[in-house]
Structure 1
Amino acid sequence: MMMMMITMLMMLTLSTVIMWMTSILSKKSNEDREKSSPFECGFDPMNSARLPFSLRFFLIAVIFLIFDVEIALLLPMPILMMHSNLMYWMSISILFLIILLIGLYHEWNQGSLEWAL
Protein backbone atom coordinates (compact mmCIF):
# COMPACT_ATOMS: atom_id res chain seq x y z
CA MET A 1 0.00 0.00 0.00
CA MET A 2 2.77 2.40 0.95
CA MET A 3 4.75 1.53 -2.16
CA MET A 4 1.74 2.26 -4.36
CA MET A 5 1.26 5.67 -2.77
CA ILE A 6 4.93 6.54 -3.25
CA THR A 7 4.72 5.43 -6.89
CA MET A 8 1.62 7.56 -7.48
CA LEU A 9 3.25 10.56 -5.82
CA MET A 10 6.35 10.16 -7.98
CA MET A 11 4.20 9.91 -11.13
CA LEU A 12 2.26 13.01 -10.13
CA THR A 13 5.47 14.93 -9.46
CA LEU A 14 7.02 13.76 -12.72
CA SER A 15 3.97 14.70 -14.79
CA THR A 16 3.83 18.12 -13.10
CA VAL A 17 7.49 18.77 -13.90
CA ILE A 18 7.01 17.62 -17.51
CA MET A 19 3.98 19.91 -18.00
CA TRP A 20 5.85 22.84 -16.44
CA MET A 21 8.88 22.28 -18.67
CA THR A 22 6.80 21.99 -21.84
CA SER A 23 4.94 25.20 -21.04
CA ILE A 24 8.23 27.04 -20.54
CA LEU A 25 9.80 25.64 -23.70
CA SER A 26 6.75 26.28 -25.90
CA LYS A 27 6.46 29.99 -25.12
CA LYS A 28 7.49 32.45 -27.76
CA SER A 29 10.26 34.69 -26.57
CA ASN A 30 9.45 37.66 -28.81
CA GLU A 31 6.59 39.25 -26.89
CA ASP A 32 5.50 42.53 -28.38
CA ARG A 33 4.18 45.39 -26.21
CA GLU A 34 0.89 45.41 -28.12
CA LYS A 35 0.45 41.66 -27.90
CA SER A 36 1.16 41.49 -24.18
CA SER A 37 -1.18 44.38 -23.27
CA PRO A 38 -4.86 43.68 -22.63
CA PHE A 39 -7.49 44.87 -25.08
CA GLU A 40 -9.98 46.99 -23.18
CA CYS A 41 -13.33 48.16 -24.56
CA GLY A 42 -12.05 49.10 -27.99
CA PHE A 43 -9.62 51.72 -26.71
CA ASP A 44 -6.17 51.80 -28.23
CA PRO A 45 -3.85 50.49 -25.49
CA MET A 46 -0.94 52.62 -26.71
CA ASN A 47 -2.73 55.95 -26.21
CA SER A 48 -3.51 57.76 -23.00
CA ALA A 49 -5.93 56.05 -20.64
CA ARG A 50 -7.60 59.39 -19.86
CA LEU A 51 -9.84 59.42 -22.93
CA PRO A 52 -13.46 60.50 -22.45
CA PHE A 53 -15.79 57.57 -21.86
CA SER A 54 -19.24 57.48 -23.44
CA LEU A 55 -21.85 57.96 -20.73
CA ARG A 56 -24.51 56.43 -22.99
CA PHE A 57 -22.46 53.25 -23.31
CA PHE A 58 -22.17 53.05 -19.52
CA LEU A 59 -25.91 53.63 -19.11
CA ILE A 60 -26.78 50.90 -21.62
CA ALA A 61 -24.39 48.53 -19.80
CA VAL A 62 -26.12 49.25 -16.46
CA ILE A 63 -29.54 48.73 -18.03
CA PHE A 64 -28.31 45.44 -19.48
CA LEU A 65 -27.14 44.32 -16.04
CA ILE A 66 -30.48 45.25 -14.48
CA PHE A 67 -32.43 43.25 -17.04
CA ASP A 68 -29.97 40.39 -16.78
CA VAL A 69 -30.71 40.17 -13.06
CA GLU A 70 -34.41 40.43 -13.91
CA ILE A 71 -34.17 37.35 -16.12
CA ALA A 72 -32.31 35.49 -13.38
CA LEU A 73 -35.19 36.29 -11.02
CA LEU A 74 -37.92 35.45 -13.54
CA LEU A 75 -36.59 32.05 -14.61
CA PRO A 76 -37.35 30.16 -11.37
CA MET A 77 -40.91 31.57 -11.15
CA PRO A 78 -42.60 28.65 -12.99
CA ILE A 79 -40.88 26.19 -10.66
CA LEU A 80 -42.02 28.19 -7.64
CA MET A 81 -45.58 28.14 -8.98
CA MET A 82 -45.78 24.39 -8.39
CA HIS A 83 -44.68 24.73 -4.76
CA SER A 84 -46.72 27.72 -3.60
CA ASN A 85 -50.22 29.15 -3.46
CA LEU A 86 -51.35 30.19 -6.96
CA MET A 87 -52.84 33.54 -5.89
CA TYR A 88 -49.75 34.45 -3.85
CA TRP A 89 -47.45 33.48 -6.74
CA MET A 90 -49.55 35.43 -9.25
CA SER A 91 -49.65 38.60 -7.13
CA ILE A 92 -45.88 38.55 -6.48
CA SER A 93 -45.13 37.89 -10.17
CA ILE A 94 -47.41 40.67 -11.38
CA LEU A 95 -46.01 43.11 -8.80
CA PHE A 96 -42.44 42.26 -9.86
CA LEU A 97 -43.25 42.74 -13.55
CA ILE A 98 -45.10 46.01 -12.88
CA ILE A 99 -42.09 47.40 -11.01
CA LEU A 100 -39.81 46.43 -13.90
CA LEU A 101 -42.16 47.92 -16.49
CA ILE A 102 -42.39 51.18 -14.53
CA GLY A 103 -38.58 51.32 -14.48
CA LEU A 104 -38.41 50.63 -18.21
CA TYR A 105 -41.04 53.32 -18.90
CA HIS A 106 -39.08 55.82 -16.78
CA GLU A 107 -35.84 55.03 -18.66
CA TRP A 108 -37.66 55.41 -21.95
CA ASN A 109 -39.12 58.80 -20.95
CA GLN A 110 -35.71 60.03 -19.77
CA GLY A 111 -34.22 59.15 -23.17
CA SER A 112 -31.80 56.55 -21.81
CA LEU A 113 -32.68 54.02 -24.50
CA GLU A 114 -32.05 56.35 -27.45
CA TRP A 115 -28.60 56.42 -29.05
CA ALA A 116 -29.11 59.48 -31.24
CA LEU A 117 -28.81 62.88 -29.57
Structure 2
Amino acid sequence: MMLIYSLTMLSLTIILFIMGRILPTLSPDLNKVSPYECGFDPINSARLPFSFRFFLVAILFLIFDLEIAILLILPFLTSSINGTSVGFILLIFLLILTIGLWYEWDNGGLDWVE
Protein backbone atom coordinates (compact mmCIF):
# COMPACT_ATOMS: atom_id res chain seq x y z
CA MET A 1 0.00 0.00 0.00
CA MET A 2 2.81 2.40 0.90
CA LEU A 3 4.58 1.56 -2.37
CA ILE A 4 1.47 2.42 -4.40
CA TYR A 5 1.07 5.68 -2.51
CA SER A 6 4.73 6.61 -3.05
CA LEU A 7 4.64 5.77 -6.76
CA THR A 8 1.44 7.78 -7.21
CA MET A 9 2.99 10.79 -5.47
CA LEU A 10 6.20 10.52 -7.50
CA SER A 11 4.39 10.15 -10.83
CA LEU A 12 2.02 13.04 -10.06
CA THR A 13 4.98 15.23 -9.11
CA ILE A 14 6.82 14.40 -12.32
CA ILE A 15 3.71 14.95 -14.48
CA LEU A 16 2.97 18.33 -12.88
CA PHE A 17 6.61 19.40 -13.21
CA ILE A 18 6.69 18.52 -16.91
CA MET A 19 3.35 20.24 -17.52
CA GLY A 20 4.65 23.35 -15.77
CA ARG A 21 7.63 23.45 -18.12
CA ILE A 22 5.76 22.72 -21.36
CA LEU A 23 2.41 24.55 -21.09
CA PRO A 24 3.26 28.17 -20.25
CA THR A 25 4.13 30.43 -23.15
CA LEU A 26 6.88 32.90 -22.45
CA SER A 27 5.96 36.05 -24.33
CA PRO A 28 6.86 39.06 -22.19
CA ASP A 29 5.42 42.32 -23.43
CA LEU A 30 5.34 45.82 -21.99
CA ASN A 31 2.25 45.23 -19.84
CA LYS A 32 3.57 42.00 -18.32
CA VAL A 33 6.94 43.37 -17.26
CA SER A 34 5.71 46.76 -16.00
CA PRO A 35 5.38 47.34 -12.23
CA TYR A 36 1.86 46.88 -10.92
CA GLU A 37 0.42 48.68 -7.90
CA CYS A 38 -3.26 47.94 -7.33
CA GLY A 39 -4.30 48.94 -10.82
CA PHE A 40 -2.55 52.32 -10.78
CA ASP A 41 0.59 53.30 -12.56
CA PRO A 42 3.39 53.81 -10.03
CA ILE A 43 3.90 57.51 -9.36
CA ASN A 44 6.68 57.65 -6.78
CA SER A 45 9.51 55.43 -5.71
CA ALA A 46 8.73 52.32 -3.69
CA ARG A 47 11.41 53.34 -1.20
CA LEU A 48 9.39 56.15 0.37
CA PRO A 49 8.97 55.83 4.14
CA PHE A 50 5.49 55.36 5.51
CA SER A 51 3.94 55.91 8.88
CA PHE A 52 5.12 54.02 11.92
CA ARG A 53 1.46 53.65 12.88
CA PHE A 54 1.12 50.74 10.42
CA PHE A 55 3.72 48.78 12.37
CA LEU A 56 2.09 49.68 15.69
CA VAL A 57 -1.34 48.50 14.56
CA ALA A 58 0.13 45.27 13.16
CA ILE A 59 1.95 44.48 16.42
CA LEU A 60 -1.12 45.32 18.47
CA PHE A 61 -3.21 43.07 16.23
CA LEU A 62 -0.85 40.15 16.82
CA ILE A 63 -0.80 40.70 20.58
CA PHE A 64 -4.55 40.92 20.93
CA ASP A 65 -5.11 38.08 18.49
CA LEU A 66 -3.07 36.02 20.94
CA GLU A 67 -5.35 37.29 23.70
CA ILE A 68 -8.43 36.02 21.84
CA ALA A 69 -6.76 32.64 21.32
CA ILE A 70 -6.05 32.40 25.04
CA LEU A 71 -9.65 33.33 25.80
CA LEU A 72 -10.77 30.42 23.64
CA ILE A 73 -8.43 27.95 25.36
CA LEU A 74 -8.96 29.20 28.92
CA PRO A 75 -12.21 27.29 29.69
CA PHE A 76 -10.59 24.00 28.72
CA LEU A 77 -7.54 24.69 30.89
CA THR A 78 -9.50 25.71 33.96
CA SER A 79 -11.97 22.82 33.70
CA SER A 80 -9.28 20.21 34.27
CA ILE A 81 -8.03 19.58 37.79
CA ASN A 82 -4.34 19.80 36.88
CA GLY A 83 -4.71 22.92 34.74
CA THR A 84 -5.88 25.35 37.40
CA SER A 85 -2.42 26.86 37.93
CA VAL A 86 -1.93 27.26 34.18
CA GLY A 87 -5.36 28.88 33.94
CA PHE A 88 -4.48 31.28 36.75
CA ILE A 89 -1.25 32.28 35.01
CA LEU A 90 -3.15 32.84 31.78
CA LEU A 91 -5.70 34.98 33.61
CA ILE A 92 -2.90 37.19 34.91
CA PHE A 93 -1.49 37.38 31.38
CA LEU A 94 -4.93 38.35 30.04
CA LEU A 95 -5.22 41.03 32.71
CA ILE A 96 -1.87 42.50 31.64
CA LEU A 97 -2.91 42.46 27.97
CA THR A 98 -6.23 44.09 28.81
CA ILE A 99 -4.47 46.86 30.72
CA GLY A 100 -2.17 47.32 27.70
CA LEU A 101 -5.17 47.56 25.37
CA TRP A 102 -6.82 50.11 27.63
CA TYR A 103 -3.57 52.15 27.74
CA GLU A 104 -3.19 52.12 23.94
CA TRP A 105 -6.83 53.02 23.42
CA ASP A 106 -6.66 55.83 25.98
CA ASN A 107 -3.51 57.34 24.42
CA GLY A 108 -4.94 57.18 20.89
CA GLY A 109 -2.62 54.48 19.62
CA LEU A 110 -5.46 52.79 17.77
CA ASP A 111 -6.61 55.91 15.92
CA TRP A 112 -5.64 56.21 12.26
CA VAL A 113 -5.88 59.98 12.03
CA GLU A 114 -3.99 62.24 14.40
TM-score scaled by length of structure 2: 0.65
Give the match for residue 59 of structure 1. Answer: 56
- 1:109 maps onto 2:106 in alignment: yes
Q: State the one-letter code of the partner of 1:51.
A: L
Give the match for residue 67 of structure 2. Answer: 70
Asked if the contact 2:74/2:87 (under 8 Å) is kept, the reply is no
- Counterparts of 1:12 and 1:100 in 2: how far apart (Å)? 46
* Compared CA separation, residues 45 and 73, structure 1 to 2 (3 A): farther
- 1:73: how far off? 2.2
Asked if the contact 1:34/1:45 (under 8 Å) is kept, the reply is no
**Which ranges in structure 1 are unaligned for 5 or more consecutive residues?**
none
- 1:33 maps onto 2:33 in alignment: yes
Which among 84, 93, 102 is matched to residue 96 of structure 1?
Answer: 93
Instruction: State the identity as a percent.
Output: 43
Query: What do you get for the CA RMSD once the two structures are aligned?
Result: 3.7
Asked if the contact 1:34/1:46 (under 8 Å) is kept, the reply is no
Give the match for residue 18 of structure 2. Answer: 21
- Counterparts of 2:86 and 2:10 in 1: how far apart (Å)? 56
* Compared CA separation, residues 33 and 98, structure 1 to 2 (3 A): same
Asked if the contact 1:56/1:115 (under 8 Å) is kept, the reply is yes
**Which ranges in structure 2 are unaligned for 5 or more consecutive residues?**
none
Q: State the one-letter code of the partner of 1:68.
A: D
- Counterparts of 2:14 and 2:73 in 1: how far apart (Å)? 46
- 1:71: how far off? 1.9
Q: Whose Rg is larger?
A: 1
**Size of the alignment, in residue pairs?**
106
Q: State the one-letter code of the partner of 1:72.
A: A
* Compared CA separation, residues 66 and 86, structure 1 to 2 (3 A): closer
Asked if the contact 2:104/2:110 (under 8 Å) is kept, the reply is yes
